[in-house]
Structure 1
């Protein structure tokens, strides 16, 4: 039996590796014309397009979309946007906590204070190779202050640059590609006139017989309301469609670094012409188009405004929904601890299950198209709470004391299907970082992974418990099958595409399978499980690296940086993100809660709850399941940029389900309620 299980362990790992070889469907490519003209307008929104007849008229003449202008800093000021285009990776522009500064002047053929920007990248460990675009060739021209930043060489010098647009120069063969700074839009007075000038500039640039890209570059001020900005490409190829790129894999969405990749035609240029090694991989990919032809400018504009609602509302509403449900749970718990009545028991169990249902509702809410409803924020709030309550009610009605298993199974199956379909439920969900924040554009983020991990491990534990009396080998194989499916969907490029997730989930599944099979684990076997997990993840990443650069996911990109010796800044940034949670009391409270939850899984006798101690030893699969959850959370906390937030989210899903089950199965106490004791005294 040991040989059978070992072969299955390696077969599961091989299944993950085989799935990596299949790439995702690329966006329909477009043949770039001989000339690319990028017209950048900081602050250009789709509301501007709606209010400008001249820009509205361009919609049906263009491939259109929205552009994420997130740079390395917390806000994308114009200088940060232009520096990002210069580097092809996210760059840090303005000083932290300061308003957006003016663009630097050009003195003596060099961008003023250029070394300051170089030093800023080193200070914040962005790894952004400023000047990469500037050395792409002698036929790259720039017009305007922002364009000087974009086309500057690594030493800050500029050539083929003019302070203002010169149309004969733009159209000349000496300018194969051009970057044009159309200027930041006025915040109030003069904005309509500025929009007319932008539309006129686009029309003039079209005469240069090029591929004209009109894009937002950054926000006008550091404290402005952030949203995805305008992206248009003229003339359209095969009719006006939706802009996209392989870096976002979303119709109608590109990111700022795609501009650099498009001008470079997707080729990463070394920042030092004499260097033999290439620079860090480009963060973006060439811009293309996809989808059906659009012919209704008004409908397109409304679609883009709806998209902004979809991306802007989830994060504010996440806090509101969580506060509502958690508040209800706390009130119900207090009532239950005071009264211990059947009604209070039912109420607290239902609120706990509603909290569990929240981890399903954050995804299912996307199917309601809430962003198209009146008052999108309030609609999202109501829909999410409604689905949470409905999930809890259905689980209780149909599964009764096993309602917790139903919620875990529902989350597991929902995310498996969502991953296979290309994660449509992630777009605009409360658990997705979204394009405004500049996190994941596709695949599973940390919060989604945490939900999937809990769903997979709890489901695996429940199924294994049904099989363990018949055969421990069959039970262990069930764990590998259920957990392995989650690993494949979470890690496969084009599905979950989650490198950090499979690092955490793989050893947890292997440990759970071993404990299911053997009942205990030696130190040597524990080391072997850890090594097997590392080897499987490393093989997945290396196989992804072997694919063409423009088809790699986060796995292969990390290996490329590692082999190029460019991984230090990436690791430092991720460490800083993980440590940042401890800048306030919330992070420390999460850490305390996570540590206590993990200790409860390894030291059950120390837990001051007779119900938990009895439950822990009541069934063979409870210990392996809880230890696997702790292992996944611990590895994720130590090796993932989410840090303590990842196990905290896992605890937020698993703990209410566990407590609800314990209260449901607990025998009513014979001790009189506290209120009766007070009255008698």
Structure 2
């Protein structure tokens, strides 16, 4: 029996602890992969558009460099849809992702110099404003005007070393070994030229190896990197990165911007050249530009001494990054076809076998949200036919979780799936998200998305699991004490918020913006049974305080240790946040450029409407389910609140609540189909457990 409960100091204290705990944890973030060492010697960057690990494998000269180098892969994603050579060199110039090429056009030749100025320079500057990249072209040159001189050789180097007005100094059209070795050059950038697509590629690879040998004679260390793709429609893949000579033996290149051994990104090249010697200057005047997107390159990990093994590892890793996106579509379509076929069989026959089959296919979709992460543990990219292997592994794990959950928990099957997802993601977050990287739910290096932490799809999975499990736990306790039930919500939801938001763990700024108020709303509704406008505003304010505290504490850390929480605050304080917000808004609105985006919006709004107006849903079993137990309505409202806030404030837009619906709705339908008995006092506990799913 439920009794009226007076406001309890325990619940208020728990709310305060949740907010304070999230803020405190933000101050303790760090790298996830152990001891590193920095490269602080003279920097000579050799940029080669199109240099892939297949080129290294095919060239004895380049293969010979592997055991003499710290090695890795470099992601060359820039601001535009394609990374042509001009995009790559402009990105090095700005230290943030720049947009150089014109969409739907071929890459073309690099602009030349006319009277000491890059031709059409203003066009590239205007293009950054047009696309809101926020890339301050010329930052590299301007920031080193008063430091050690940087020399440039070749047309790409001219673009990288152009000042904010497009003028170039200390540059030569061809490589000059004598000048590089002189005191006129501190650091240097060398354009080795794009590799030919077909004829002449072997000779070009040999010339690159010869150039490395010449540059090494100038002392310091050499960074050989693939700077871009060669064509707009080229196969997208991470390219080659080597640093010679290696310190303490050949190891793996990395940076704080990726936090992954063996992986750097293009903007790390600029950060490494600058090495903190000077603050970048905004081209508009004396104000400082926003922070660099990259971080100084490091080396880390174990020694590697077998060039063939290293090359195969890099090629396998490319498969890991390339296959998940197309296989995601293939697996999703397979599950959809299976569900439609099972539904048709059930509608036609109404047999118990067809009912069980339909329920199994729905539960398999829930299992899919676990399989996308666990599949990473199988190292499928090292198997024969990696794409097909990933497809089979994900479907097998999805079916396994559906079958085991149904066999062991029967109508409680949803609890096994959501409990596994919740526990798996919490552990993975604390460990630095090793299962996220290269999974179907993480935009990898080819896309230029997250290199660490929780992405939008991962957050959506965690949010559904946390809110539903919190609602289930609250229902178990609500008859005993509303206070205890509310505290259970805060404990389960709070753990998810902390892991999702803590820098170095989930590092998900947009996620905690959406999840924190949803958890607080669910806790309040559990505690009080209803909510006033005043309380609703208080919950929103408390959520804003928690999120702001996390971001500000991350900002107080050293610049090279900040996550994108602190970077956002830095941009905000520098007045450089408008382009970021506009780009995120454009990404959010971009979903509506296709019918699929509008279809997602209609589906999401209908799902949210069902949580507010169940009487409008043409399903008697759903209407009966909605009113059967006290915690069903609060849990569904919390899910809708989380999805709505995420849709409005996250760059994923409508995709975020659509993913949440893709997990929650099949489990709910499976319950309604599988449990045909109306709620009664005898089936009360059973109904709430499944209904919260």
Q: Which interval holds the TM-score relative to the shorter structure?
A: over 0.9
1:77 to 84, 91, 99: 84
1:17 counterpart residue number: 23
Q: State how 1:252-263 maps to structure 2 within 5 Å.
A: 252-263=262-273
Q: 2:508 aligns with which of 474, 495, 498?
A: 498
SS in structure 2 opposite 1:424? coil
Contact 2:454–2:507 under 8 Å retained in 1: yes
Query: 1:333-376 deviations in whole A, cap 9, x for unaligned?
Result: 12222222111110110000001100000000001110000000
Per the alignment, in what secondary structure is the counterpart of residue 625 of structure 2? helix
Length-normalised TM-score, structure 2: 0.95
Match of 1:463 among 451, 470, 473: 473
Does the Cα contact within 8 Å between 2:143 and 2:278 map onto a contact in 1? Answer: no
Shift of 1:380: 0.2
* Structure 1 residue 23, shift from structure 2 partner: 2.0
Pick aligned residue for 1:146 from 150, 156, 173: 156
Counterpart in the other structure of 1:671: none
**What is the deviation of 1:458?**
1.0
Structure 1: how far apart are the matches of 2:283 and 2:124? Answer: 20
* Cα distance in 1 for residues equivalent to 2:179 and 2:283: 26
2:120 aligned residue? 113
Residues 190-220 of structure 1 deviation map (CA, whole Å, 9 limit, x = unaligned): 0011000000101111101011000000001
Q: How does 1:207-606 map to 2 (within 5 A)?
A: 207-266=217-276, 269-272=279-282, 275-606=285-616
Structure 1 window deviating more from structure 2 (261-270 vs 13-22): it is: 261-270
Distance (whole Å) between structure 2 residues aligned to residue 483 and residue 319 of structure 1:
31
Distance (whole Å) between structure 2 residues aligned to residue 158 and residue 202 of structure 1: 24
Alignment correspondent of 2:205: 195
Structure 2 equivalent of residue 662 of structure 1? 672
SS class of match (1:153): coil
For 2:81 and 2:278, locate their aligned partners in 1 and report how far apart those are by CA, in whole Å.
Answer: 26
- In structure 2, how many angstroms separate the alpha carbons of the residues matched to 1:33 and 1:263? 9
User: Are residue 55 (structure 1) and residue 62 (structure 2) matched?
Assistant: yes
Contact 1:82/1:217 (<8 A) preserved: yes
Secondary structure of the 1:180 match is strand
Give how far 1:276 is off.
4.4
Inter-CA distance 29–414: structure 2 relative to 1 (3 Å threshold):
closer
Map of 1:677 onto structure 2 = none
Q: Please state whether the residue corresponding to 1:435 is helix, strand or coil.
A: coil
Deviation of the 1:34 alpha carbon = 4.0
The question of whether the paired residues in 2 share the 8 Å contact of 1:28 and 1:289 is answered with no
SS of corresponding position for 1:233? strand
What do residues 272-322 of structure 1 show as CA deviations (whole Å, max 9, x unaligned)?
Answer: 489543211000000001100110000000000000000000000000000
Query: Is the alpha carbon distance of 1:31 and 1:379 closer, same or farther for their aligned partners in structure 2, counting shifts above 3 Å?
Result: closer
Name 1:672's counterpart in structure 2: none
**In structure 2, how many angstroms separate the alpha carbons of the residues matched to 1:287 and 1:460?**
42
Question: 1:466-486 deviations in whole A, cap 9, x for unaligned?
Answer: 111111111110100000000
Which residue pairs with 1:65 in the alignment?
A: 72
Pair 1:103 & 2:113 matched: no
Evaluate the alpha carbon distance shift between residue 349 and residue 110 of structure 1 in structure 2; reply closer, same or farther with a 3 A threshold: same
Comparing 642-651 with 164-173, greater Cα deviation is found at 164-173
Q: Answer yes or no: is 1:129 the counterpart of 2:136.
A: yes
Structure-2 residue corresponding to 1:675: none
Q: Is the 8 A contact 2:77 2:447 kept in 1?
A: yes
Tell me the CA shift for residue 170 of structure 1: 0.9
Matched with 1:676 is: none
Pairwise CA distance, 1:269: 3.0
Return the alpha-carbon distance in structure 1 between the equivalents of residues 358 and 451 of structure 2. 37
> Which of 3, 9, 15 pairs up with 1:3?
9
Whether contact under 8 Å (1:130, 1:271) holds in the other structure is no
Separation (CA, whole Å) in 1 of partners of 2:522 and 2:278: 43
- Residue aligned with 1:238, SS: coil
CA RMSD, Structure 1 to Structure 2 (Å): 1.2
Residues 84 and 301 from structure 1, CA distance in 2 versus in 1: closer, same or farther, beyond 3 angstroms? same
Q: Per-residue CA shift, 1:128-156, capped at 9, x if unaligned?
A: 00000112325011100000000000000
Cα pair 1:313 1:377 within 8 Å, conserved: yes
Instruction: Point out where structure 1 has 5 or more consecutive residues left out of the alignment.
Output: 669-681
Q: Distance in 1 between matches of 2:109 and 2:270?
A: 22
**Equivalent-residue separation in structure 2 for 1:198 and 1:220 (angstroms):** 16
The answer to whether the 8 Å contact 1:154/1:271 transfers is: no
- Of the three residues 14, 34, 42, the one matched with 1:35 is 42
Compute the displacement of 1:533 (Å): 0.5
CA-CA distance at 1:267 after TM superposition: 5.3
1:64 is paired with a residue whose SS is strand
Contact 1:28 1:288 in 2 (8 A): no
CA distance in 2 between counterparts of 1:607 and 1:395 reads: 28
Alignment check: 8 A CA contact 1:20 1:544 kept: yes
**Structure 2: how far apart are the matches of 1:500 and 1:462?**
25
1:186 to 196, 201, 218: 196
Instruction: Please identify, of 58-67 and 127-136, the stretch whose mean Cα deviation from structure 2 is larger.
Output: 127-136
**For 2:195 and 2:280, how far apart are their aligned partners in 1?**
34
Q: Alignment partner of 1:67: what SS?
A: strand
Name the structure 2 match of 1:636: 646
Per-residue deviation at 1:271? 2.9
Structure 1, 130-139 or 584-593: larger mean CA deviation: 130-139
Secondary structure of 2:446's aligned partner: helix
Aligned partners of 1:34 and 1:176 also within 8 Å: no
Mark the CA change 1:141 to 1:225 in structure 2 (over 3 Å): closer, same or farther. same
